[in-house]
Amino acid sequence: MDAIISAAELLSAPQDRTILDVRYQLGGPPGRPQYEAGHIPGARYVDLEAELAGPPGAHGRHPLPELDVFTTAMRRAGVSHDRPVVVYDGGQGWAAARAWWMLRWAGHQDVRVLDGGLASWTGPLETGAPEPVEGDFTARPGALPLLTADGAAALARTGLLLDARAAERYRGEVEPIDPVAGHIPGAVSAPTTENVGQDGRFHSREELAKRFSALGADQATQVGVYCGSGVSAAHQVLALAVAGIPAALYVGSWSEWTHDGARPVATGATP
């Protein structure tokens, strides 16, 4: 099943799907006012930090939420197991990918991300919020692979662990958010931003497969991804899915890794 959907395809039959608006910007204003000012008709707003992540702490800045919190949020947003879901954000794609990953990991079988986000939408917008229609979704985790810190460390040695952050953060030259700069030893630099073109849309399946192949990823290799806090890495997992390559997500990512001062840190351009 395709992991992404074009604006043209969504515009042709939006009523057949549950649509979630997950606009979010790290350190920026809440996305709800933007949602209420204009969103795809019928879309429900989902708050990334409150509903797609738990409180920050030892397990990172965006750890997994409690399952009952996630289930309640998805039901309130109208998500049901037998109804396809489309998620979108403002255009960067990271927040939408986190929602896609959470729903797929929790057992929903038909979730797609709007390629290019709201910026690609050419249809009408509506304001306010639609009437609530309760869904029947219940989170049943385990449908997608998940890495712990120890699992990520092991995969960096035995398979392929991709670091989705900017290359300068990987090299340890800058670290604007977390307390320690560098990367997990053995991880390979693979910035998420290289998965999309200037319009924010994903490169073709063939182009993505070529990119990941050059990094050492293919269907025969066990692949994992991390970033700063498990958001942009979800976008990388999505890009890998588009390319036909399954990958595990290390949700805690660098923010969890560096919370434990005993974990090793590498710097420089090589793994």
Quote the number of domains for the chain: 2
Return the CATH number at 44.
3.40.250.10
Q: Which of 26-40, 56-70, 130-144 has the lowest mean pLDDT?
A: 26-40
At residue 244's C-alpha, the angle toward residues 236 and 194, to 5°, is 35
The answer on pLDDT for 16 being more than 70 is: yes
Q: Which domain holds residue 84?
A: 4-120
Residues 100 and 156 placed together within one structural domain of the fold: no
Residues 60 and 100 placed together within one structural domain of the fold: yes
The answer on pLDDT for 27 being more than 80 is: no
The position carrying tokens 């990958």 is 247
Q: What was the pLDDT predicted at 131?
A: 82
CA separation for the pair 153, 157 (Å, rounded)? 7
Q: What was the pLDDT predicted at 132?
A: 76
Q: Which of 22-26, 114-118, 189-193 has the lowest mean pLDDT?
A: 22-26
How far from each other are the two terminal CA atoms of the chain, in whole angstroms? 33
Residues 24 and 96 placed together within one structural domain of the fold: yes
pTM tops 0.85: yes
The answer on pLDDT for 14 being more than 80 is: no
CA separation for the pair 175, 96 (Å, rounded)? 24
- Does residue 103 form part of some domain? yes
- Does residue 131 form part of some domain? no
Q: What was the pLDDT predicted at 1?
A: 65
Residues 163 and 222 placed together within one structural domain of the fold: yes
- Does residue 230 form part of some domain? yes
Q: What was the pLDDT predicted at 85?
A: 97
pLDDT tens track for 195-248: 999 999 999 999 999 999 999 998 889 999 999 999 999 999 999 999 999 999
- Does residue 58 form part of some domain? yes
At residue 177's C-alpha, the angle toward residues 171 and 182, to 5°, is 20
Q: Percent of the chain at pLDDT above 90? A: 91
Q: Which entry of 20, 227, 243, 248 is annotated as an active-site residue?
A: 227
- Does residue 163 form part of some domain? yes
- Concerning whether 227 is annotated as a catalytic residue, the answer is yes
pLDDT tens track for 135-167: 999 999 999 999 999 999 999 999 999 999 999
- Kind and range of the H or E run holding 170: helix 167-171
pLDDT-derived band at 133 (thresholds 50, 70, 90) equals confident
**C-alpha distances in Å from residue 254, one per residue of 34, 177, 266:** 29, 10, 12
Residues 240 and 179 placed together within one structural domain of the fold: yes
pLDDT tens track for 245-270: 999 999 999 999 999 999 999 999 99
Section 85-106 average pLDDT: 97
Residues 33 and 114 placed together within one structural domain of the fold: yes
